[in-house]
Amino acid sequence: MISNFQEPFGEATVNNLPDNTPAPEPTNDMDVTLKSPIRPVNPSADAAPRPGLLARAMQQDAPQPAPPAEPAAEGHDANPAQALEALRSKMEVVATEFGQGKINRAQFNAIYGRYSEQRTIIEKLMQRNPSSDAWKHAAAPGHTSFLRDHFESKLLFYLVYQHNIPTPLMMGGSQQPSMDRISGVLKSLWGMTNRPKGGLARKEMGNGQWLVLALGEYAVTMVLFQLEPSTEQTNLVRDLHGDFERANRRALERGTRSLDRFVFPQRALTEKTFS
């Protein structure tokens, strides 16, 4: 059962979304490759305004500097007090990254836990034998880059739907979507009274999977992630969908289904280039 999306669509919230609605049969006018041959257009500054941003937790979008590289061990080997101070600084950096939405909860817990463990080991070693150099081994950097990558949320698939048309206009990703589940979400979404023209929602689906849904005036983009996405990843889904509606406004207004009339910024979620 898909229910109780955590982020609101305007004044409404997606609730009690069934997961057992039969999947619709594909129509014959779909290009089975579901690929756009056109490079996405960079929208101009005077283009139509973005849809309203309705998730308060998603509003911190200012670009942030990349996380600093982990310092080499030599800079903190002078004494254990310096090593402990360096670890404390790293813990503050990780907390700041999570607060800015640059990493997810799993990444924070793993990396922060690693630094906390190093700190505890150094403190205990110095209590037992202050003259020992064993603390240097515990203070050595490493592992956090692996943890950052290992616990990063990975995209499984994305789908783009025009409103009230049960066949996807575009899809991509490494995993086939469960169309029964998707049909249930769409049925509840399109059945909403006073559905807003723009919004963002996310929902834990079980088995460590999270669904992110970006709603626009004419279409909706649905993305399934393995592990909880960071705020930065969620904002990217919203921004790509906003660019999709902005770039394809005329085709969407006419209800066009020909893929050669569209560009798909959402392809950036899975493809390194648009060629």
Average pLDDT along the chain: 77
pLDDT, tens only, 177-188: 888 889 989 999
pLDDT, mean of residues 126-132: 85
* Nearest alpha carbon to residue 232 among 69, 66, 80: 66
Residue 272: the pLDDT is 54
Residue 271: the pLDDT is 76
Buried b (16+ CB within 10 A) or exposed e, 74-88: eebeeebeebbebbe
pLDDT, tens only, 79-98: 888 999 999 999 999 999 99
Taking the C-alpha atoms of residue 40 and residue 266, their distance in angstroms, rounded to an integer, is: 10
* Nearest alpha carbon to residue 204 among 213, 193, 217: 213
pLDDT, mean of residues 220-249: 96
Residue 168: the pLDDT is 95
Residue 77: the pLDDT is 54
pLDDT, tens only, 28-79: 343 433 443 333 444 443 433 343 333 333 333 344 455 544 444 444 457 8
Q: Which pair of tokens denotes residue 160?
A: 């783009």
Fold of the domain built from segment(s) 1-62+153-275: Beta-Lactamase (3.30.450)
* Nearest alpha carbon to residue 71 among 152, 140, 147, 151: 140
Taking the C-alpha atoms of residue 186 and residue 179, their distance in angstroms, rounded to an integer, is: 10
> Where do the domains of the chain lie?
1-62+153-275, 73-141
pLDDT tops 90 at residue 154: yes
Contacts made by residues 35-40, CB under 8 angstroms, sequence distance 24+: 35/259, 36/170, 36/259, 36/260, 36/262, 36/263, 36/264, 36/267, 37/259, 37/260, 38/260, 38/262, 38/263, 39/263, 39/274, 39/275, 40/243, 40/247, 40/263, 40/264, 40/265, 40/267, 40/268, 40/274
CA-CA distances (angstroms) from residue 170 to 37, 141, 173, 244, 266?
Answer: 12, 44, 11, 12, 9
In percent, the amount of the chain with pLDDT more than 90 equals 48
Residue 90: Cβ within 10 Å count = 21
CA-CA distances (angstroms) from residue 220 to 44, 104, 159, 170, 183?
Answer: 22, 24, 8, 11, 13
pLDDT tops 80 at residue 226: yes
Taking the C-alpha atoms of residue 82 and residue 64, their distance in angstroms, rounded to an integer, is: 28
Beta bridge partners of 212: 202, 223
pLDDT, mean of residues 131-136: 84
Interior angle at CA 245, CA 186 and CA 270, nearest 5: 75
Residue 140: the pLDDT is 84
Q: What DSSP letter does each residue of 159-181 carry, written as one string?
A: EEEETT--S-SEEEESS---HHH
